[in-house]
Structure 1
Amino acid sequence: MDAQDPLERRLDALELKACEAEDLLDELNLTVYRQQQQIDALVRQLEALRALQTDPGASGAPRNLRDELPPHY
Protein backbone atom coordinates (compact mmCIF):
# COMPACT_ATOMS: atom_id res chain seq x y z
CA MET A 1 0.00 0.00 0.00
CA ASP A 2 1.26 3.41 -0.86
CA ALA A 3 0.37 6.84 0.54
CA GLN A 4 -2.31 7.41 -2.14
CA ASP A 5 -4.65 4.68 -0.91
CA PRO A 6 -6.02 6.44 2.21
CA LEU A 7 -6.32 9.69 0.30
CA GLU A 8 -8.08 7.97 -2.58
CA ARG A 9 -10.49 6.22 -0.19
CA ARG A 10 -11.30 9.53 1.49
CA LEU A 11 -11.89 11.15 -1.90
CA ASP A 12 -14.20 8.29 -2.94
CA ALA A 13 -16.13 8.61 0.32
CA LEU A 14 -16.52 12.36 -0.20
CA GLU A 15 -17.73 11.83 -3.77
CA LEU A 16 -20.32 9.33 -2.55
CA LYS A 17 -21.52 11.74 0.13
CA ALA A 18 -21.78 14.54 -2.43
CA CYS A 19 -23.85 12.33 -4.75
CA GLU A 20 -26.15 11.29 -1.92
CA ALA A 21 -26.56 14.90 -0.85
CA GLU A 22 -27.39 15.92 -4.42
CA ASP A 23 -30.00 13.15 -4.70
CA LEU A 24 -31.52 14.17 -1.39
CA LEU A 25 -31.63 17.81 -2.47
CA ASP A 26 -33.43 16.86 -5.70
CA GLU A 27 -35.92 14.79 -3.74
CA LEU A 28 -36.55 17.63 -1.28
CA ASN A 29 -37.00 20.13 -4.11
CA LEU A 30 -39.61 17.87 -5.71
CA THR A 31 -41.41 17.53 -2.38
CA VAL A 32 -41.47 21.30 -1.89
CA TYR A 33 -42.75 21.77 -5.46
CA ARG A 34 -45.59 19.28 -4.91
CA GLN A 35 -46.52 20.86 -1.59
CA GLN A 36 -46.66 24.29 -3.21
CA GLN A 37 -49.00 22.91 -5.87
CA GLN A 38 -51.26 21.53 -3.13
CA ILE A 39 -51.17 24.86 -1.26
CA ASP A 40 -52.08 26.74 -4.45
CA ALA A 41 -55.02 24.38 -5.09
CA LEU A 42 -56.24 24.78 -1.50
CA VAL A 43 -56.00 28.57 -1.74
CA ARG A 44 -58.10 28.51 -4.92
CA GLN A 45 -60.70 26.30 -3.22
CA LEU A 46 -60.79 28.58 -0.19
CA GLU A 47 -61.27 31.64 -2.38
CA ALA A 48 -64.13 29.89 -4.19
CA LEU A 49 -65.77 29.02 -0.88
CA ARG A 50 -65.41 32.58 0.36
CA ALA A 51 -66.96 33.87 -2.88
CA LEU A 52 -69.93 31.55 -2.37
CA GLN A 53 -70.32 32.66 1.22
CA THR A 54 -70.32 36.38 0.42
CA ASP A 55 -72.68 36.00 -2.56
CA PRO A 56 -76.18 36.61 -1.12
CA GLY A 57 -77.87 34.87 -4.05
CA ALA A 58 -75.89 31.68 -3.60
CA SER A 59 -77.81 28.62 -2.48
CA GLY A 60 -75.22 27.85 0.20
CA ALA A 61 -75.52 31.26 1.85
CA PRO A 62 -75.78 31.18 5.65
CA ARG A 63 -79.24 31.76 7.00
CA ASN A 64 -80.57 33.11 10.24
CA LEU A 65 -82.20 30.42 12.36
CA ARG A 66 -84.63 33.01 13.82
CA ASP A 67 -86.21 33.30 10.39
CA GLU A 68 -87.12 29.62 10.60
CA LEU A 69 -89.06 29.82 13.89
CA PRO A 70 -92.68 28.75 13.61
CA PRO A 71 -95.17 31.66 13.46
CA HIS A 72 -96.66 30.93 16.91
CA TYR A 73 -93.43 31.95 18.68
Structure 2
Amino acid sequence: MDRIEEELAHLRRTTEDLSEVVARQAGDIDKLTRQVTLLLQRAAEQEAEGSGGVVIGDERPPHY
Protein backbone atom coordinates (compact mmCIF):
# COMPACT_ATOMS: atom_id res chain seq x y z
CA MET A 1 0.00 0.00 0.00
CA ASP A 2 2.86 2.40 0.80
CA ARG A 3 4.37 1.82 -2.61
CA ILE A 4 1.09 2.69 -4.30
CA GLU A 5 0.78 5.88 -2.26
CA GLU A 6 4.34 6.85 -3.16
CA GLU A 7 3.70 6.20 -6.83
CA LEU A 8 0.47 8.21 -6.69
CA ALA A 9 2.28 11.14 -5.05
CA HIS A 10 4.97 10.97 -7.72
CA LEU A 11 2.38 10.91 -10.52
CA ARG A 12 0.51 13.85 -9.00
CA ARG A 13 3.71 15.89 -8.81
CA THR A 14 4.60 14.99 -12.38
CA THR A 15 1.13 16.02 -13.53
CA GLU A 16 1.43 19.37 -11.74
CA ASP A 17 4.87 19.97 -13.27
CA LEU A 18 3.60 19.16 -16.75
CA SER A 19 0.58 21.39 -16.25
CA GLU A 20 2.87 24.30 -15.37
CA VAL A 21 5.00 23.66 -18.45
CA VAL A 22 1.96 23.54 -20.72
CA ALA A 23 0.57 26.76 -19.23
CA ARG A 24 3.91 28.53 -19.71
CA GLN A 25 4.21 27.28 -23.27
CA ALA A 26 0.67 28.44 -24.06
CA GLY A 27 1.65 31.93 -22.90
CA ASP A 28 4.82 31.82 -24.97
CA ILE A 29 2.86 30.69 -28.05
CA ASP A 30 0.35 33.51 -27.59
CA LYS A 31 3.15 36.05 -27.28
CA LEU A 32 4.96 34.73 -30.35
CA THR A 33 1.74 34.66 -32.35
CA ARG A 34 1.13 38.33 -31.56
CA GLN A 35 4.72 39.18 -32.52
CA VAL A 36 4.51 37.31 -35.83
CA THR A 37 1.21 39.01 -36.65
CA LEU A 38 2.75 42.41 -35.93
CA LEU A 39 5.81 41.63 -38.04
CA LEU A 40 3.66 40.45 -40.94
CA GLN A 41 1.61 43.64 -40.75
CA ARG A 42 4.74 45.77 -40.72
CA ALA A 43 6.24 43.87 -43.65
CA ALA A 44 3.01 44.23 -45.63
CA GLU A 45 2.89 47.97 -44.90
CA GLN A 46 6.50 48.43 -45.99
CA GLU A 47 5.93 46.42 -49.16
CA ALA A 48 2.78 48.36 -49.97
CA GLU A 49 4.58 51.68 -49.45
CA GLY A 50 7.53 50.59 -51.57
CA SER A 51 5.68 49.22 -54.57
CA GLY A 52 2.32 50.90 -54.31
CA GLY A 53 0.65 47.49 -54.41
CA VAL A 54 -1.10 45.30 -51.93
CA VAL A 55 0.71 42.31 -50.47
CA ILE A 56 -1.15 39.03 -50.33
CA GLY A 57 0.28 36.57 -47.79
CA ASP A 58 0.42 33.55 -50.12
CA GLU A 59 1.47 35.45 -53.24
CA ARG A 60 4.55 34.05 -54.94
CA PRO A 61 7.39 36.31 -56.06
CA PRO A 62 7.51 37.11 -59.81
CA HIS A 63 10.42 34.76 -60.53
CA TYR A 64 8.37 31.62 -59.80
| TM-score scaled by length of structure 1 | 0.69
Structure ID, larger Rg: 1
Task: Give ranges in structure 2 of 5+ residues lacking alignment.
Answer: 53-64
Deviations 1:15-49 (A, max 9, x none): 00000001100001110110000000000000110
Q: Are positions 1:20 and 2:11 aligned together?
A: no
The structure, 1 or 2, with the larger RCO (C-alpha pairs under 8 Å, 6+ apart) is 2
Counterpart in the other structure of 2:50: 53
Counterpart in the other structure of 1:11: 8
Distance 1:54 1:10 in 2: 64
> Pick from 31, 34, 48: which aligns with 1:34?
31
Distance 2:22 2:4 in 1: 27
- The runs of at least 4 consecutive aligned structure 1 residues that moved more than 4 Å come to none
